Amino acid sequence: MVLFLNGKFVKKEKAAISPFDHGYLYGLGIFETLRTYNGKPFLLEEHLERLNDGLNELGIDREFTPSEIKPIIHELCRINGLPDSYIRMNVSAGIGDIGLQTALYEDPTVIIFQKPLPPLTPLREKEAVILKLRRNTPETGSRLKSHHFFNNAAAKREIGPDPDKEGIFLTKEGYLAEGITSNLFWAKEGVLYTPALETGILNGITRQFILKMAGRSGIPVKEGLFKESALHEADEMFFTNSIQEIVPVHKFMKRELPGNRGAIVRQLYKKYEDNISMLDE
């Protein structure tokens, strides 16, 4: 497998970064994960906008545009023979002296990874459980998709390695937050609900896409502060992220749910499929 590292395409076995990179020493780095379908990146502009915002927050003096990144992704798809793939773009602060730095980082380390995925994941169901571990609060005004990922890793350890199970974080105040690697949605009597950004969740790119598609489909949406009890009354529930797309929940805390038979899930998934098909136009 080949990856992109600081302007070059290199085999993964030969890729190396400095131990003095402040992404390693202090966790100063931002990443984005997205999918390609038939060699074309989905929602790339939105992912780069969030990436650039995070880099600015961390004091990393670098900005990326679709015109710069799209050809790199296309070349990775060609070299690795992976038109349908997982892409992770990782930008860390770069080399610095030991000790915290207040000046801007002007020479970051840029890595773009790739691995295979199926062309379009069907509506694969999962079981959802409430985590005992609470969601940590963002380190700044809003949650960054940063290298500080141990809250997520610890939550995954709590529920175990089963890929068909997702944990739901509560905030320290007891409000519904998000999944371990996903955003959370549920429906009740035709209304779509999701936790507000004020809970400290990541403003997921697929989350934003779903909210937009719901609006275009005439589905009422309510963002807010909700307790766990709201999920026990839900008609449908699903998770979203950029790699797994839309993930319907068939079981929540021993309660059966319609999963991939849910009307709103299926309606939104059709919108997702339609937008994927337009990548080829």
Looking from the CA of 172 toward its CB, the CA atoms found within 13 Å total 4
CB atoms within 10 A of CB 170: 20
Residue 157 sits in the same domain as residue 265: yes
What is the full DSSP assignment across 162-218?
-TTEEEEEE-TTSBEEEESSSEEEEEETTEEEEE-GGG-----HHHHHHHHHHHHTT
Chain segment 93-140, per-residue pLDDT in tens: 999 999 999 999 999 999 999 999 988 778 999 999 999 999 999 999
Q: For residue 247, what are the CA distances in angstroms to 23, 114, 165, 205?
A: 31, 22, 11, 15
Residue 270 sits in the same domain as residue 163: yes
Residue 264 sits in the same domain as residue 132: yes
Positive or negative CA dihedral for 271, 30, 238, 191? negative
Instruction: Tell me how many domains the chain contains.
Output: 2
Answer for the pair 218, 179: CB distance below 8 angstroms, yes or no: no
Q: What is the CATH number of the domain that holds 50?
A: 3.30.470.10
List alpha helices for the chain, DSSP H.
Answer: 22-25, 44-58, 66-80, 150-159, 205-216, 229-232, 263-277
- Supply the pLDDT for residue 235: 98
Residue 130 sits in the same domain as residue 218: yes
- Supply the pLDDT for residue 119: 85
Boundaries of domain holding 102: 2-116
9 falls within a domain:
yes
User: In the chain, pLDDT over 90 holds for what percent of residues?
Assistant: 95
- Tokens 């670098």: give the residue: 62
Which band of pLDDT confidence, cut at 50, 70 and 90, is reported for residue 222? very high
Answer for the pair 248, 122: CB distance below 8 angstroms, yes or no: no
- Across the range 168-184, mean pLDDT stands at 98
Mean residue pLDDT across the chain: 96
121 falls within a domain:
no
Residue 17 sits in the same domain as residue 40: yes
Lowest mean pLDDT among 98-102, 122-126, 159-163, 174-178: 122-126
**pTM of the predicted structure, to 2 decimals:** 0.96
pLDDT at 55 over 60: yes
